[in-house]
Amino acid sequence: MTDDYDAHLSIQGAGEAVVLVPGLDGTGQLFYSQLPRLARSYRVATYALRDTALTMDELVEDLARVIDIVAPAERRAIVVGESFGGALAMSLALARPERVIALVILNSFPYFAPQVRLRLAMLWTRSVPWGAMGLIRRLTAFRMHSRHTHRQELERFMALTATASRDGYLSRLRLLTAYDIRHRLHELGAPTLFLAAEQDHLVPSVTQARYMADRVPGSVVRVLAGHGHICLIAPDVDLGQILNEWRDGG
């Protein structure tokens, strides 16, 4: 991670370290609703994914660097990954298990299928006029977001994602074409919570979460009833409460 990426790093709160790993949009700013809730109990870091990564290993090293910064003594953190960020979080846990206290994986997968969807998404991303992305996000909001997300939160989401770059999307889509950890799920040794939105129309999150939990020793699945793929800005999803309940055995 270079110094310009350090500028996107934000740390709030005190306590055990938590790192929030963003999804395909690549911006940690989309965790804004969860930060104050988590910061009541934890020292929480958000950051931006680099748009130029050629391999998942590069992003794994960036994430390890963030952990070093937020937890300089322990060099370990609870890692929370959303969608693409879940794939990255699990990749870190496999490559650098000593850096992970626990994993929370939201609406993610060990392999993206069918792969033709990725190829089509890459083709579409290259060809669409980038200035039209805001309109496209609005037209598809009913399929992507939780139905009861407040309008002002949707507007804030649109504003924050407006800065996402075409190169960043393409880079991360390309990385998913080479991503497959299905045969290594049994190696994930950190305590793991799989969160899955019941009405996710982008990823079959519930099916994927149960598939992964069957293969990750001691892991737990929690279904977020009534929620869509983008659920962390919905009013009734509190990662701080979910994390505390899980770790307390509730």
| Mean pLDDT on 28-48 | 96
Give the separation between CA 65 and CA 70, rounded to whole angstroms: 9
Going along the chain from its start, the domains and CATH numbers come out as 3-247 (3.40.50.1820)
Q: Does residue 185 surpass a pLDDT of 50?
A: yes
CA 129/CA 112 separation, integer angstroms: 25
Q: For residues 29-57, give the mean pLDDT.
A: 96
Q: What was the pLDDT predicted at 2?
A: 42
Q: How confident is the model at residue 8 (pLDDT cuts 50, 70, 90)?
A: confident
Which pairs from 35-41 meet CB under 8 Å and 24+ separation? 35/10, 36/12, 37/238, 37/239, 37/240, 37/241, 38/13, 38/239, 38/240, 38/243, 39/12, 39/13, 40/13, 40/240, 41/13, 41/15, 41/16, 41/240, 41/243, 41/244
pLDDT at 1 over 60: no
The pLDDT confidence band at residue 250, using thresholds 50, 70 and 90, is low
How many Å apart are CA 67 and CA 18, to the nearest integer? 8
**141 SS3 class:** helix
The rounded percent of the chain whose pLDDT value lies above 70 is 97
- Beta-bridge partners for 220: 193
One-letter amino acid for residue 216 of the chain = V
pTM: 0.95
Residue of 81, 86, 89, 100 lying closest to 17 (CA atoms): 100
The band of 183, judged by pLDDT with boundaries at 50, 70 and 90, is very high
Mean pLDDT of the chain: 94
Q: Could you tell me if 44 and 35 are in contact, meaning their C-beta atoms sit under 8 angstroms apart?
A: yes
Q: What is the pLDDT of residues 191-225, one digit of tens each?
A: 999 999 999 999 999 999 999 999 999 999 999 99
Backbone angles phi and psi of 120, in degrees to 5: -65, -40
Give the rounded percent of residues in the chain with a pLDDT score beyond 90: 90
